[in-house]
Amino acid sequence: MGLFDSPKVFTTHEQIKEALFKINSLDYKEREIVYQALLDKLSQGGVSQEEYRNIIRKLREEKLISEIDKENLFGLIE
């Protein structure tokens, strides 16, 4: 682990699923999009706070999730 690595917020796919179901603003399609994006990082030892934020920002920039979804998702790790 490098000096500047942020802590892992998710280390299992169950943690991701449980967290995403807490976000009422996500519909089933958006939830699956976010889940798949996070799963890609999970295979690399977990999802760090920085990686999580970057993934959520990217999904918003690509208009795959709403601004409300983005804010709610950021709230999961704050």
Query: Can you give the residue range of the structural domain that contains 14?
Result: 8-75
2 found inside a domain: no
In the chain, the number of structural domains is 1
pLDDT, tens digit, 9 for 90 and up, residues 5-33: 678 999 999 999 999 999 999 999 999 99
CB atoms near residue 55 (< 10 Å): 17
Residue 55 maps to a domain: yes
- For the segment 51-78, what is each residue's pLDDT rounded down to a tens digit? 999 999 999 999 999 999 999 999 998 8
In a domain, 19, yes or no: yes
**59 within domain boundaries:** yes
CA–CA dist 3, 22 (Å, integer): 32
